[in-house]
Amino acid sequence: MNKKFYLLFLVLVMSAVIAACSDDSNVEEMTGEEGGSGTGDLTIGMMDELVTLDLHGSNDSASGQVRTNIYESLIDSDVNMELGPGLADEWEQTEDTVWNFKLREDTLFHSGEDFTAEDVKATLDRVRDPAVASTVAFLFEMIEDVEVVGDYEVNMHTEYPFAPLPSHLAHGTAGIMSKEIIDRDYQTALDEAGVDMTADEYYELRETDGEEYEEIVDQISEYTGQVLGSETDGTNHLQLESRNAGDSVELSKFEDFRGGDRNFETVTFRVIPESGARLAELESGGIQIATDVDSSNAERVSNGAETSLVERESVRMTYLGMNTEHEPFDDERVRQAIAHAVDTEAIISGVYDDMGIQAKGPLAPDVWGYNEELEGTEYDIDRAKELLSETDVADGFDTTLWINDDQQIVDTAVYIQEALAELNINVSIEQFEWAAYLETLAEGNHDMYISGWTTVTADADYGLYALFHPDSIGGTGNRMWYDNPEVGELLDAGRTATDEDARYDIYTEVQEILNDEAPIVPIFHTNFAIGVNDSLVDGVEVDPTGSLEIDNIEFK
């Protein structure tokens, strides 16, 4: 009897378990009301480590990839680079030099503070402050004043009419930080410098722009960014959990985010510099997304059993830069000779497996202001030799070429080294880790270097001003130390012109001058590619700037 009772009891229990497992009442809880995927933890493998968490501290893509998930800008740029509402619900140009912004209400920072117009003013005042010495100040230097009209309204007064302002305010470094964390950053700098003053007193002094202010700028400039380099306070869907320098950054879901539901609880950005190791992690499921898939591994990813390749044409240019202040690169005939000696089509084919298009100038075809008539500099070794023969280094010379540790950049450098050997130019290649590379280039001690520039606003102003304006020399972007007053005046005119046709003509002329004087050798416009483990996630996108769009990711 006891044995029969036990068997009957066991059958009843199992029946109850099976019924519970097949009960539809649990489905909604697991997958959501619309039957989508559940939530999960997302891990992204990146080639480069971010330089800093401070929005105004760097303009590199690795930092931007992380920071754009923490901070929101006034204006949003979607995966197709179309502008739409961000922290500003609406905006309009009310006068030639005045823009009005109506701000989003009921928005919280990660710290719990309310987002208001004061945060907008504090952020845009900081990025233009000489004490911060921001490498992205050029994006906002046309702003003379941010006038707080009300708690949720500001007027931006510009020094001159500036048509691309909305695009600049959609830039990743235009994210809005809380005034509270900005105040703490300044107060720390003032205290470290031994200046007996509160942050608010400093702001009042900054408005005077007098000698006392300039003296304090000199005192605190080396201390700004300490707080914002290690802490964050934004309004976007992810908030900072931890950073393990050289290894990873972990972000977690911000529950009070107003921009829609997300399917992830945490997002971890892991630094995996070596491509093979990054893809091995993708294939094994150690990461769900791998950035910076190079052309030599594209087929491996696209043909993988559980992986796929997401590829997008870009607004990025890879180029060979020459320091025009260093001999013999101060002679444009030497630069022109080098431009004719580099077969860019051979580099695109041999190094990048045709995963991109030849660059005829600094702007990609999808950038407004692109000069369709520009022919570029053709490969012509005889012309190169002829030009060099007219210079003081007709018999050749020794020089250095600086690069980062991207393997395809290394391969490109070796190609250029071999190509210039035909001119008896002996090139020594020096390699740097990414963050050190940017910092070292900004000091101006190099001869030649290979780098890239992404015109993230899709407007010629951003693609040309930062790279070639005399005011941009150094860390801002003009690492060629190229100082042509005519180009500077034209770029200034392009910023102030209100007529679109006049602006286009100005940028067309600038591109022709650059083509003639050759401070750079434009090589190609790459295609951005990322790898996705299809068995784990879906809905990953990449935009023309190379930035990952993870908002719509679903876990399988």
Q: Residue 550's domain is classified under what CATH number?
A: 3.40.190.10
pLDDT over threshold 80, residue 502: yes
By CB atoms closer than 10 A (0-12, 13-18, 19+), residue 546 is buried
Helix axis angle, 211-220 to 179-192, nearest 10°: 90
pLDDT value at position 406? 87
pTM, full prediction: 0.82
Distance CA 59, CA 36 (A): 36
251 and 216, same structural domain?
no
Percent with pLDDT over 90 in the chain: 86
Q: pLDDT-derived band of residue 37, with 50, 70 and 90 as boundaries?
A: low
**Does 229 fall in a domain?**
no
**Residue-wise pLDDT tens digits, 225-269:** 999 999 999 999 999 999 999 999 999 999 999 888 899 999 999
Over residues 121-159, the pLDDT tens digits come to 999 999 999 999 999 999 999 999 999 999 999 999 999
102 falls within a domain: yes
- For residue 293, name the pLDDT band (cuts at 50, 70, 90): very high
C-alpha dist (Å) from residue 190 to 128, 130, 207 = 18, 14, 17
Statement to judge: residues 273 and 409 lie in one domain: no
- Is position 538 within any domain? yes
- Distance (Å, whole) CA 550 – CA 407: 27
Is 227 contained in some domain? no
Place of tokens 């025009």: 324
**pLDDT tens-digit map of 397-417:** 999 999 998 889 999 999 999
* Separation between Cα atoms, residue 264 and residue 255, nearest integer Å: 11
Q: For 297-319, what is each residue's pLDDT tens digit?
A: 999 999 999 999 999 999 999 99
Range of the domain at 11: 2-31
Q: Of 161, 24, 157, 46, nearest to 98 (Cα)?
A: 157
Count of structural domains, the chain: 4
Residue 226 lies in a domain: no
Asked if 520 and 411 sit in the same domain, the reply is yes
Residues 192 and 79 in one domain: yes
Q: Is the pLDDT of residue 13 over 80?
A: no
pLDDT of residue 35: 39
Q: What is the average per-residue pLDDT within 62-66?
A: 95
Please, are residues 220 and 193 in contact by the beta-carbon 8 Å criterion?
yes
User: For tokens 């990414």, what's the residue?
Assistant: 434
Confidence of residue 438 (pLDDT cuts 50, 70, 90): confident
358 vs 345: CA distance, rounded Å: 6
* Mean pLDDT estimate for the chain: 92
| Domain-terminating residue out of 160, 190, 220 | 220
Burial of 183 (0-12, 13-18, 19+ CB in 10 A): middle
Is 493 found in the same domain as 468?
yes
Residue bearing the bigger pLDDT, 33 or 175: 175
pLDDT at residue 382 above 70? yes
Residue 295 sits in the same domain as residue 328: no
> Is 263 within 8 Å of 40 (Cβ atoms)?
yes
CA dist 380 and 52 (Å) reads 42
**What does the DSSP assignment read for 210-229?**
-HHHHHHHHHHTTTTTTTTT
The predicted pLDDT at position 14 comes to 42
Indicate if 496 and 541 belong to the same structural domain: no
Confirm whether 230 is domain-assigned.
no
Reported confidence tier of residue 504, pLDDT bands at 50, 70, 90: very high
Assess if residue 36 is contained within a domain: no
Residue for token pair 């619309």 = 34
* Stretch among 37-46, 66-75, 162-171, 184-193 having the lowest mean pLDDT: 37-46
The verdict on 86 and 204 lying in the same domain is yes
CATH number of the structural domain spanning residue 194: 3.90.76.10
Q: Among candidates 177, 46, 87, which has minimal Cα distance to 550?
A: 46
Q: Is the pLDDT of residue 161 over 80?
A: yes
CA-based R_g, the chain, Å: 27
- Same structural domain for residues 413 and 551? no
Cα distances (Å, whole numbers) of residue 550 to 100, 174, 185, 248: 31, 20, 30, 18
What does the pLDDT read at residue 26?
35
Write the burial class of residue 26 (CB in 10 Å: 0-12 exposed, 13-18 middle, 19+ buried): exposed
For the chain, what percent of residues have pLDDT higher than 70?
A: 93
The mean pLDDT value for 470-496 works out to 95
Give the alpha-carbon dihedral of 359, 365, 371, 377, to 10 degrees: 10
Per-residue pLDDT band for 29 (boundaries 50, 70, 90) equals: very low
Whether residue 50 lies inside any domain: the answer is: no
- Which CATH number belongs to the domain containing residue 446 in this structure? 3.10.105.10
Q: In this structure, are 349 and 288 located in the same domain?
A: no
Query: 279 and 359, same structural domain?
Result: no
78 lies in the same domain as 203: yes
Residue ending a domain, choose from 192, 220, 248: 220
CA dist list (Å): 330 to 395, 478, 484: 17, 15, 12
